Amino acid sequence: MSVKSLEKQYIINTYNRQPESTLSLKRGEGVYVWDDGGNRYLDFVSGLAVNNLGHCHPKVVEAISSQAQKLMHTSNLYYTEPQARLAETLVNHTPADKVFFCNSGAEANEAAIKLARKFGKQNRGERAHEIITAERSFHGRTLAAVTATGQPKYHQGFEPMVSGFCYGKFNDLDSFAALVNENTCAILVEPVQGEGGVYPASHEFLAGLRKLCDEHKLLLVFDEVQCGIGRTGKLLAWEHYGVEPDVYTLAKGLGGGLPIGVMAARGAAADVLVPGDHASTFGGNPVVCAAANAVLQEILDNQFLAQVEQLGQYFKGKLKELDNPGVVDIRGLGLMIGMEINGDGAAVVKACQEKGLLINCIGGKTLRFLPPLVLDEEHIDIAVTVLQKALQECL
Ligand SMILES: Cc1ncc(COP(=O)(O)O)c(C=O)c1O
């Protein structure tokens, strides 16, 4: 039986495989992946902002295999060195004082939501449990995280949603300010909205949210699950804005391809959760943490992030040169770029795939480019040439 037939028969049908379920991937190396027919593709999806160091980066592979030969798992009843070292690196390079490890972005946000509620009760009163998030946001698929997600299409069929969430307009400070009341405990936003269509926050918006949180003793929580870990040319996207959160969440790119989630907090927020409040069997697993330590070592190399920023500008410049009337907007930060088109995005994705380039489309109209951060200008040139042909064919 083919992989496709096995999947149809045995896997619950939750994913729209890309496009029309035609691709079964077998191998990856650097910026390329190969399908089971041996065809090579330039990967501008990167496992949706996961393979930031490309596929099977030798240092990540070495860290995983070396740790796997020593200790693959132990309970969080015991200490392990890779976990402690990863926490130390994260704290040393970000405003956080302490971190909690879990296994995915949704779980990291769940942890942040629990922390925010407890912080609210301790600091603003028993009623303070409500979290303001943004319309068009995405925070994951578990019940509280999907309720935090300000897109009704993700709620449909799963009501009643978790209580205690309300939604302001992204980049509209007044709409957030109007929602603050005695029930509020936190504000949660992505510095660059990903699944919502690749929309960077404005500086005034993030700075205004910081001020609003300070005035009302609210926690400011940044979801850096997609835009973090070097994706925008800084370790964390908020560094572009100079606005620091009280709590932030990470996942995706941190594990170099292995599942990880982090919820990090600073100041009083770092001491809100106490033994018994929260836990994860696999959180901080030594193999995953060894991989994450290798990822951070690469990304924190000074040259690395500067290069991402420069490549992002080069890529955006090339996209802007594309002379196609169907292109409505090009936006993003670093190597997290969206191109809004007036046409069928799925058709463009398919045409690119047929020409050896993997890209993604959100909401039917926004092409999303999330290439591995280790690519060269030459890869960008190839991708733009393919895209130009695909746009000519489809728009
Ligand atoms: C900003 C953001 N937060 C949270 C999530 C959920 O992460 P996960 O799929 O690892 O649960 C995603 C996934 O796309 C995301 O983009």
Read off the pLDDT of residues 253-285 as tens digits, 9 standing for 90 and up: 999 999 999 999 999 999 999 999 999 999 999
Element (H, E) at 184: strand 184-189
How many other β-carbons are positioned within 10 Å of the β-carbon of residue 168? Answer: 24
What's the pLDDT at 19? 52
Closest C-alpha to ligand 1, atom 4:
139
Same domain, 217 and 335: no
Q: 3-state DSSP helix/strand/coil percent for the chain, to nearest 5?
A: 40, 20, 40
Give the distance (Å) from ligand 1 centre to CA of residue 105.
5
253 lines ligand 1 (CB under 6 A): no
Q: Which two tokens stand for residue 328?
A: 């409505």
With a CB cutoff of 8 Å and minimum separation 6, the contacts of 27 are: 33, 34, 55
Range list of H helices, the chain: 3-10, 18-21, 46-49, 58-68, 81-93, 105-124, 143-148, 173-177, 203-216, 286-299, 302-321, 345-354, 377-394
What's the pLDDT at 18? 57
Ligand 1 pocket, mutate which of 46, 133, 138, 229 (most atoms under 8 A from CB): 138
Average pLDDT over residues 313-320: 98
pLDDT tens figures, 47-90: 999 999 999 999 999 999 999 999 999 999 999 999 999 999 99
Side chain identity at residue 322, one-letter code: L
Closest C-alpha to ligand 1, atom 13:
140
Number of domains in the chain: 2
Decide: 198 and 337 in contact? Cβ < 8 Å. yes
With a CB cutoff of 8 Å and minimum separation 6, the contacts of 58 are: none
Query: Can you tell me the distance from the alpha carbon of 33 to that of 55, in angstroms, rounded to the nearest whole number?
Result: 8
* φ, ψ for residue 184, nearest 5 deg: -75, 140
Give the distance (Å) from ligand 1 centre to CA of residue 368.
15
Same domain, 161 and 121: yes
In the block, tokens 């770092």 appear at 270
Q: Which two tokens stand for residue 172?
A: 């509209």
Q: Is the pLDDT of residue 385 over 80?
A: yes
138 lines ligand 1 (CB under 6 A): yes
Banded pLDDT at 326 (limits 50, 70, 90): very high
Rounded alpha-carbon distances, angstroms, from residue 7 to 15, 25, 39, 258, 259: 11, 13, 21, 22, 21
Question: 329 is in which domain, residue-wise?
Answer: 3-56+302-394
Average pLDDT over residues 134-153: 98
Same domain, 306 and 295: no
Residue 277's closest CA among 100, 85, 33? 100
Banded pLDDT at 298 (limits 50, 70, 90): very high
Give the distance (Å) from ligand 1 centre to CA of residue 1.
32
What's the pLDDT at 4? 77
| Position in ligand 1 atom list of the atom nearest CA 190 | 1
Taking the CA atoms of 279, 281, 287 and 288 in sequence, report the sign of the dihedral they define.
Answer: negative
With a CB cutoff of 8 Å and minimum separation 6, the contacts of 389 are: 351, 355
What's the pLDDT at 21? 54
Q: Which of 280, 299, 318 is the last residue of a domain?
A: 299
Same domain, 163 and 274: yes
Q: Which of 299, 322, 342 is the last residue of a domain?
A: 299
Query: Can you tell me the distance from the alpha carbon of 117 to that of 195, in angstroms, rounded to the nearest whole number?
Result: 25
Closest C-alpha to ligand 1, atom 3:
139
pTM above 0.85, yes or no: yes
Same domain, 268 and 170: yes
The share of the chain scoring above pLDDT 90, in percent, equals: 93
What's the pLDDT at 111? 98
CATH number of the structural domain spanning residue 389: 3.90.1150.10
Same domain, 133 and 280: yes
Closest C-alpha to ligand 1, atom 8:
105
Active site residues: 138, 223, 252
Q: Is the pLDDT of residue 15 over 80?
A: no
Side chain identity at residue 171, one-letter code: N
Same domain, 102 and 207: yes
First-to-final CA distance of the chain: 37
Q: Which two tokens stand for residue 96?
A: 């956080």
